[in-house]
Amino acid sequence: MFDTLAAMLDWFGIVVFTVTGALVASRKQMDAVGFVLLGTVTGIGGGSVRDMLLGRLPVFWVAEPAYLLTCVCVAFAAFFLAHIPASRYRALLWLDAVGMALFAVAGAERALLSGTAPSVAVAMGVITATFGGMIRDVLGGETPVILRREIYATAALVGAALFVLLSLAGASREAGLTAGFL
Amino acid sequence: MFDTLAAMLDWFGIVVFTVTGALVASRKQMDAVGFVLLGTVTGIGGGSVRDMLLGRLPVFWVAEPAYLLTCVCVAFAAFFLAHIPASRYRALLWLDAVGMALFAVAGAERALLSGTAPSVAVAMGVITATFGGMIRDVLGGETPVILRREIYATAALVGAALFVLLSLAGASREAGLTAGFL
Amino acid sequence: MFDTLAAMLDWFGIVVFTVTGALVASRKQMDAVGFVLLGTVTGIGGGSVRDMLLGRLPVFWVAEPAYLLTCVCVAFAAFFLAHIPASRYRALLWLDAVGMALFAVAGAERALLSGTAPSVAVAMGVITATFGGMIRDVLGGETPVILRREIYATAALVGAALFVLLSLAGASREAGLTAGFL
CA separation for the pair A46, A60 (Å, rounded): 11
Under 8 Å between Cβ of C127 and C100: no
C133 pLDDT tier (thresholds 50, 70, 90): confident
Name the residue facing B147 among A40, A61, A140 (closest C-beta).
A140
Q: In this predicted structure, what is the pLDDT of residue C1?
A: 40
3-class state of residue C112 by DSSP: helix
Q: In this predicted structure, what is the pLDDT of residue A1?
A: 39
Q: In this predicted structure, what is the pLDDT of residue B166?
A: 77
Q: State phi, psi for A127 to the nearest 5 degrees.
A: -65, -45
User: Cα–chain-centroid distance for residue A49?
Assistant: 11
Rounded percentage of chain A residues whose pLDDT exceeds 90: 15
What ipTM does this complex have? 0.85
Exposure string over B60-85, b if 16+ CB within 10 A, otherwise e: bbbeebebbbbbbebbbebbeebeee
Residue ranges of alpha helices (H) inside B28-149 are 32-54, 60-63, 65-81, 88-113, 118-139, 145-148
Are B33 and C120 within 8 A, CB to CB? no
C-alpha closest to that of A103 among A173, A149, A163: A163
Any chain A CB within 8 A of the CB of C33?
yes
- Stretch (H or E) spanning A48: helix A32-54
If one counts the domains in chain C, the total is 1
Residues of B in contact with C57 (CB under 8 A): 57
Task: Measure in Å the smallest separation between the Cα of C122 and chain A Cα atoms.
Answer: 22
Q: Phi/psi class of residue C29: alpha, beta or left (left: φ > 0; alpha: ψ in -120 to 50)?
A: left
C-alpha closest to that of C176 among C115, C120, C121: C121
Confidence check: pLDDT of C110 > 50: yes
Q: In this predicted structure, what is the pLDDT of residue C177?
A: 53
Residues of A in contact with C48 (CB under 8 A): 53
Q: pLDDT digit string (tens) for B40-62?
A: 999 999 999 999 999 888 888 99
C44 pLDDT tier (thresholds 50, 70, 90): very high
Name the residue facing B33 among C120, C134, C153 (closest C-beta).
C153
Residue/partner pairs of B114-118 with CB below 8 Å, 24 or more apart: B114/A58, B114/B54, B114/B56, B116/A58, B116/A62, B116/A65, B116/B54, B117/A65, B118/B164, B118/B165, B118/B168
CA separation for the pair B162, B124 (Å, rounded): 13
CA separation for the pair A165, A99 (Å, rounded): 21
Contacts of residue B41, defined as CB under 8 A and 6 or more positions apart, other chains included, come to B21, B132, B135, B136, B139
Task: Measure in Å the smallest separation between the Cα of A179 and chain B Cα atoms.
Answer: 32
CA separation for the pair C143, C149 (Å, rounded): 10
Rounded percentage of chain C residues whose pLDDT exceeds 90: 15
Asked which of A2-16, A84-98, C62-76 is least confident by mean pLDDT, the reply is A84-98
Chains that contact A by 3+ CB pairs under 8 Å?
B, C
C-alpha closest to that of B96 among B22, B173, B162, B26: B22
Instruction: Report which residue type is found at B60.
Output: F
C171 pLDDT tier (thresholds 50, 70, 90): low
- Rounded (10°) CA dihedral A134, A139, A144, A145: -50
- HEC readout, A30-41: CCHHHHHHHHHH
Rounded to the nearest 10 degrees, the angle between the axes of helix C118-139 and helix C150-168 is 150
CA separation for the pair C62, C100 (Å, rounded): 22
Q: In this predicted structure, what is the pLDDT of residue B70?
A: 92
Contacts of residue B74, defined as CB under 8 A and 6 or more positions apart, other chains included, come to B15, B18, B19, B22, B39, B43
The mean pLDDT of C55-62, rounded to a whole number, is 88
Name the residue facing C68 among A123, A146, A150 (closest C-beta).
A123
C134 pLDDT tier (thresholds 50, 70, 90): confident
The mean pLDDT of C11-29, rounded to a whole number, is 86
Contacts of residue A164, defined as CB under 8 A and 6 or more positions apart, other chains included, come to A108, A112, A118, A121, A122, A125, A176
Q: Tell me the pLDDT of chain C averaged across its residues.
A: 79
Residues of C in contact with A54 (CB under 8 A): 57-58, 62
Confidence check: pLDDT of A149 > 70: no
Residues of A in contact with B110 (CB under 8 A): none
Q: The domain containing residue B86 runs over which residues?
A: 2-181
Q: Tell me the pLDDT of chain B averaged across its residues.
A: 80
Q: pLDDT digit string (tens) for A67-102?
A: 999 999 999 998 888 666 556 667 767 777 778 888
The mean pLDDT of B23-39, rounded to a whole number, is 85
- Stretch (H or E) spanning C129: helix C118-139
CA separation for the pair C113, A22 (Å, rounded): 44
CA separation for the pair B60, A175 (Å, rounded): 44
Under 8 Å between Cβ of B64 and B54: no
The burial of B58, by beta-carbon neighbours within 10 Å (0-12 exposed, 13-18 middle, 19 or more buried), is given as buried
Any chain C CB within 8 A of the CB of A73?
no
The burial of A92, by beta-carbon neighbours within 10 Å (0-12 exposed, 13-18 middle, 19 or more buried), is given as buried
Any chain C CB within 8 A of the CB of A53?
yes
Q: Judge if the upstream peptide bond of residue A65 is cis by omega within 30 degrees of 0.
A: no
Rounded percentage of chain A residues whose pLDDT exceeds 70: 78
Query: What 8-state DSSP symbol labels residue C85?
Result: S
DSSP sequence for A123-163: HHHHHHHHHHHHHHHHHTTSPPHHHH-HHHHHHHHHHHHHH
Under 8 Å between Cβ of A158 and B164: no
Confidence check: pLDDT of B108 > 50: yes
C157 pLDDT tier (thresholds 50, 70, 90): confident
Higher pLDDT, C33 or B179: C33
Asked which of A6-20, B114-128, C28-42, C154-168 is least confident by mean pLDDT, the reply is C154-168
Residues of C in contact with B143 (CB under 8 A): none
Comparing alpha-carbon positions, the chain A residue that sits nearest to B143 is A141
Under 8 Å between Cβ of C93 and C20: no
CA separation for the pair A70, A65 (Å, rounded): 9
Under 8 Å between Cβ of A139 and B139: no
